Structure 1
């Protein structure tokens, strides 16, 4: 590993034009490729104080031993060259969009003498047509089972085919007319390929021709009183309709578009793509990738887009160029294979039946516009050979579909995290790594974390979540209304952390003495999550956690440590977890502890912190909603809910009620002079 100062370019030698740069290691292998609007500005960031670099970026600059760059004339060329070099050199520090799982597909081996259709998972191969991906394996098998009624093509393996060819009799599928039985010569090679071409044409979306022909043949058979054949064609038509119904129409205008959305946290991001063709969802794909540190530098000039993660525009740009670049390259490769097959076998019909793959549609619906939008769209347009438009849907069916894709991306990221949580080995490794990183005497079997939530100092609340053996223990969760450190529209997060830490460990001291809980735990029960606000078990908090986490950096940790010293808490390890770089701050240490980005311990800490944040913000929203529902009529003695409703319904609003006299209020049924007077005085306190 080389020190970055040993290969740092001399000052002033890096150009200020747009370009692409490569970091190489000692063996001259490219370890990272990046692009920049201004090469000097971007590259100088890599050679600053290494302690200020993102952990992954720091690892990359130490792994490299040299840097070189290429100046280009525009940002569009920079995007294109960056993608080309990433494909060529496959740098290990660049993000690669790999499937989160291998989706099942329907494959047709067009390169064989007698092509067969079969269920398939794995990388694509030459001489094979693929349809999908499908969300479930059973969907592939059911589709194949239904379509072989209409297109009785071969579905057996090579061994089964050869065995029945030698036996001279077909298999069961041949006897029940779900296979044309080319193994015994029932159809010749040309006739079987015609069946295959009809199958692939149907799967490519040309369904109208098939349904019209089946309908016409069925009606003709019925007119000729051939009811047995008419019934068989009717069943075939029902099978075709069932296959078509499985891909529901989501866009009534027959749009061809891809819908793309991300869900991200501080460490990782999940992306979901829905492929919509002819208004129907034809496929769905998903990935989970690690967010790299160099993206933080790329976001300096990126525009903010609402409350979304500021990294999303750069993520979107990176994904669009890589994903569609790979798709077009794969489609070109398949087209060359077809041309070779036609030239070798003279199969003219194959090129006519197989439509050009629509790998890059004219319209791309995105959750957020990509960084450098115009340049990115220019690259995509060059790949497609025609204009490509990307936009954020705002209303209607397309907006509803985007929300569905966003939910799928969030679910994908959630399931990705749950895989780690549900893995006992991973949880044990995480606790062991925490013990070693924090120099603890034993693994932290009980971990507690607190977080503060508010909006501009209003409804300031805090949460306390508990994890035991790496799993959440929701029966021990607590929530607090911050009292001393907040109020009247102001909030001090550091003081709030100190207040919550004090209240939690005062409770610990009281529970040790078996003293009933005091008033600091206020609020109601979260019945839907089985979370208690007040414990009926006085011993529940009698033992402390091995690890106590506060959400924040050095100031929050120092405030919590001061409380520890005040209460004499010495058997608990205290740390703070800063959000941006996931730094772990230990009391008294000037530098944070940095865990590797792929560390199981870091994923566990992030999960605990995110759970504390979720729990805090849920309680904050509940309190804010409750406050917003408060009415001036609530505190008037003798005025219940039904009478308040009658008043507002009769006068139209509280403002109109204020304009009414005592006599006008008393005219309402059930409102006497005394109650009317109380209502008037309650609404006009300064006049009484």
Structure 2
């Protein structure tokens, strides 16, 4: 072990926080959190204490240890979640075959940004809205948005077709044809800003704008144009009302809403099953495969899974039932409570459940 690394291990604080192992090129190999950094980090460099084959290879590749001290273990969980997403370290627990939830993506760094359906959320230069629980409703939302905001529906970072003429979407007023220069970059960007504003929950500005245009067109006796603005306004109002209704319904359904999590680990792999109960009825079953779990305790595996699963889930159940040997789940409960915006009880399964 290099003397620099030895000095870093000796200087570790006995406080909660996050640790990052880096190789000689500065790449992050592993990110972890600890209630007390000193014993946790040192344990990796004590021979024979870790049964995981891949983790046994880790210390010999570590050249630098970086620690970030936090106020408490919950803050460390939040930080660990963000760092794992950013670096995707090769030695961390990896979730495979996960249920991916739908998002609405706005490619803000494109010259003429797109607004589209996606199930990924890792690209830079993209603003994501969601996750949403229902893919069909996401597509319905996009259909309404495109009728109100004529952004380009074509694929690719640049608009248009090779023919160089506007497509059908221009003629049915679903696009302003930036491909042939019928709209300036500034005016098109203003449309995208309105989309982002609407998806962020600010629906009043576009409703006032459509109402004003409808009345102006009617006053000028452009009745067909006024009817189009009226229809767009009704679509926006319906969409805004549906979003409010869905939030209220979610609050009502919280009674009797439980996620039951089962876990089985063998060697370097594990399987997790999530059984969502709503109003006392099991409505589905989600199965997940995890890699790089050998040598990890159940608490660490469970925390790693919950950080990734509930970090992208559209909602968090008010009660989460975990395996009986899950250990101390106080930090996880507080993390999920912050994620939900209300108290979440994380409790061990009782015999017979």
Q: Compute the TM-score of the two structures, normalised by the length of structure 2.
A: 0.59
Compared CA separation, residues 264 and 127, structure 1 to 2 (3 A): same
Aligned-pair distance for 1:180?
A: 1.9
Aligned runs of 1:593-612 on 2, under 5 Å? none
From 144, 147, 152, the equivalent of 2:145 is: 147
Contact kept in structure 2, 1:17 and 1:71, CA below 8 Å? no
1:59 pairs with 2:64: no
Q: Which residue of 1 aligns with 2:205?
A: 209
Is there any run of 5+ residues in structure 2 with no aligned partner, and where?
1-9, 266-270, 277-285
- Per-residue displacement from partner, 1:444-489 (whole Å, max 9, x unpaired)? xxxxxxxxxxx8xxxxxxxxxxxxxxxxxxxxxxxxxxxxxxxxxx
From 79, 98, 101, the equivalent of 1:100 is: 98
1:125 pairs with 2:129: no
1:161 pairs with 2:160: yes
Moved more, 140-149 or 241-250: 241-250
Aligned-pair distance for 1:122?
A: 3.9
Aligned-pair distance for 1:61?
A: 5.9
Contact kept in structure 2, 1:97 and 1:287, CA below 8 Å? no
CA–CA separation in structure 1 for the residues paired with 2:136 and 2:89: 37
Aligned-pair distance for 1:100?
A: 1.1
Contact kept in structure 2, 1:364 and 1:389, CA below 8 Å? no
Contact kept in structure 2, 1:365 and 1:392, CA below 8 Å? yes
Q: Which residue of 2 aligns with 1:249?
A: 246
User: How many residues matched?
Assistant: 307
Compared CA separation, residues 119 and 69, structure 1 to 2 (3 A): closer
Compared CA separation, residues 389 and 129, structure 1 to 2 (3 A): closer
What is the alpha-carbon root mean square deviation over aligned residues? 5.7
- Per-residue displacement from partner, 1:349-379 (whole Å, max 9, x unpaired)? xxxxxxxxxxxx9x9956379947469969x
Greater relative CO (CA pairs within 8 A, separation 6+):
2
Compared CA separation, residues 271 and 96, structure 1 to 2 (3 A): farther
1:269 pairs with 2:272: yes
Q: Which residue of 2 aligns with 1:177?
A: 173
From 380, 385, 391, the equivalent of 2:343 is: 391
Aligned to 2:246, what secondary structure does the other structure show? coil
Contact kept in structure 1, 2:159 and 2:179, CA below 8 Å? no
Q: Which residue of 1 aligns with 2:39?
A: 39
Contact kept in structure 2, 1:364 and 1:390, CA below 8 Å? no
Compared CA separation, residues 162 and 272, structure 1 to 2 (3 A): farther
Larger Rg: 1
Contact kept in structure 2, 1:97 and 1:319, CA below 8 Å? yes
Compared CA separation, residues 190 and 61, structure 1 to 2 (3 A): closer
Aligned runs of 1:351-370 on 2, under 5 Å? 367=320
Contact kept in structure 2, 1:17 and 1:72, CA below 8 Å? no
Contact kept in structure 1, 2:261 and 2:320, CA below 8 Å? no
Compared CA separation, residues 87 and 128, structure 1 to 2 (3 A): closer
CA–CA separation in structure 2 for the residues paired with 1:129 and 1:228: 35
Q: Which residue of 1 aligns with 2:232?
A: 236
Contact kept in structure 1, 2:102 and 2:132, CA below 8 Å? yes
- Per-residue displacement from partner, 1:332-364 (whole Å, max 9, x unpaired)? xxxxxxxxxxxxxxxxxxxxxxxxxxxxx9x99
CA–CA separation in structure 1 for the residues paired with 2:194 and 2:43: 56
Q: Compute the TM-score of the two structures, normalised by the length of structure 1.
A: 0.34
- Per-residue displacement from partner, 1:202-229 (whole Å, max 9, x unpaired)? 1221112222333454355556654323
Contact kept in structure 2, 1:16 and 1:41, CA below 8 Å? no
CA–CA separation in structure 1 for the residues paired with 2:97 and 2:55: 28
Aligned-pair distance for 1:265?
A: 2.9
Q: Which residue of 2 aligns with 1:445?
A: none
Aligned to 2:272, what secondary structure does the other structure show? strand
Is there any run of 5+ residues in structure 1 with no aligned partner, and where?
1-12, 274-285, 297-310, 328-360, 395-454, 456-616, 622-688
Q: Which residue of 2 aligns with 1:187?
A: 183
CA–CA separation in structure 2 for the residues paired with 1:89 and 1:111: 22
Aligned runs of 1:66-465 on 2, under 5 Å? 76=72, 80=76, 83=80, 92-97=90-95, 100-122=98-120, 124-135=122-133, 138-157=136-155, 161=160, 163=162, 166-167=164-165, 170-219=166-215, 221-222=217-218, 226-244=222-240, 247=243, 248-251=245-248, 261=259, 263-267=261-265, 268-270=271-273, 288-290=288-290, 292=293, 294-296=295-297, 317-318=303-304, 367=320, 371=328, 373=330, 391-392=343-344
Aligned to 1:367, what secondary structure does the other structure show? strand
Contact kept in structure 2, 1:31 and 1:91, CA below 8 Å? yes
Contact kept in structure 1, 2:29 and 2:91, CA below 8 Å? no
Compared CA separation, residues 316 and 228, structure 1 to 2 (3 A): same
